[in-house]
Amino acid sequence: MKKIITIIGARPQIIKSAALSRAIQTKFKDELSEVLVHTGQHYDEKMSEVFFTELGLSKPDYNLNIGSGSHGVQTAEMISGLEQLFIDEKPDAIVVYGDTNSTLAGAIAGSKMGIPIVHIEAGLRSFNKSMPEEINRIMCDHVSTLLFSPTKTGVEHLKNEGFKLDNEAPFNADNPKVYHSGDIMYDNSLYFSEKSEENREILKEFNLDQSPYFLATVHRGANTDHPKKLKAIFDAFFEVMEQHPEHSIVLPLHPRTQKCMEQHFEEGYLKSIQSSPQLKIIPPVSFLTIITLEKHCELVITDSGGLQKEAYFFKKPCVILRPETEWVEIVEQGVAKIVDADKDRIVEGVKEMMSKRDVEFPLLYGDGKAAEFIAEEILKHC
């Protein structure tokens, strides 16, 4: 029996980990055991309990309770806590997801102890090193043993950084293996799509079952920490609603976004947001509920990396409130538009993407069996 330790620290990583955990439980439970570790990077006990239950996940075996802090302090505390845990648990491999500080901490702590690192979502690049996530991705990839890229583009990025694609086993950090595995979030979207229909009541609750709407999310620090950018986004929302009077905009409001609005928006402007019949601001929602909202909307407007991709899974055009994206395929396919936090570009982007609702959405992210493939390769090579 081989043992892996899975490191999670942010809500999207809980969702991502569900796919691999499910594959292990259904096909490999006699060969592979998983220890789930939450760093506490983003952890709300009440929200997380609901979240784990909803996704059918066991609660974490460990929670380091690191909490918030500067990048340096947070990452250092995680490395220290994980190092002792790895000594105690003696895993055969460490599995990390994506690009958070938890990802980097797991990769550094494990690699320095000679434990193979398995990086899921390897090879993604925004080519913007002012983003902390970009630094995390690059550093994590370069100490990993097994690198699972969700896209062909990701594989090409790794090749351009010097990774060889024809390495032979045995694999290690100096002789790593790069895979085009497909995307575990596509696995999840297929799996949870049917289950999400149980949450259709939210459509009636906000009068969305009979009227068209756009789904919007705004949470990245690059937007929320800059009042001018955030106001430009809301100015664009008002103009979009004026141009599309039959549509509403549904905005699950992230606490960070709400805090910035309350601190920096004038009282009159805040009241106009709160009183708008077309702008439906709702509390943060669960993963299954966001899937329900995605499936039934006409367009997604977001600065979330995950939501961009899920929009594609559910064949929805997307307007991206960022200056770049790691998911370049959806832009190249012509069903997503990068507009940053620029009012005029957002408005034009919505107009352009509304004309793309009948275009093709070919399979770019695998066949929905990425997690099963990843589990098999971990068993073979760790």
- DSSP H stretches of helix in 168-285: 184-196, 201-205, 221-224, 227-243, 255-264, 267-275
Question: What is the C-alpha separation between 105 and 83, in angstroms, rounded?
Answer: 9
Amino acid 180 reads H
Q: Residue 349: which of 333, 337, 335 has the closest Cα?
A: 337
In the set 38, 42, 119, 219, the catalytic residue is 219
Token duo for residue 91: 């895993």
Question: What is the C-alpha separation between 373 and 27, in angstroms, rounded?
Answer: 11
Question: What is the C-alpha separation between 234 and 363, in angstroms, rounded?
Answer: 33
Handedness of CA 94, 99, 100, 101 (dihedral sign): positive
In Å, how far are 39, 161, 201, 347 from 212, measured between CA atoms? 40, 45, 16, 17
Catalytic (active site) residue 71: no
CB atoms within 10 A of CB 208: 20
Farthest CA pair distance, the chain: 64
CB 146 within 8 A of CB 94: no
In Å, how far are 16, 130, 214, 282, 377 from 294, measured between CA atoms? 18, 30, 9, 15, 32
Tell the burial category of 315 from Cβ atoms under 10 Å away from its Cβ (0-12, 13-18, 19+). Answer: middle
Which residues, in sequence order, are CB contacts of 279 under 8 Å at separation 6+?
237, 238, 241, 248, 249, 251, 273
Bridge partners, residue 169, by sequence:
none
In Å, how far are 216, 250, 305 from 302, measured between CA atoms? 5, 11, 8
CB 178 within 8 A of CB 149: yes
Task: Say what angle helices 255-264 and 267-275 make with each other, to 10 degrees.
Answer: 140
CB 90 within 8 A of CB 2: no
**Catalytic machinery residues:** 219
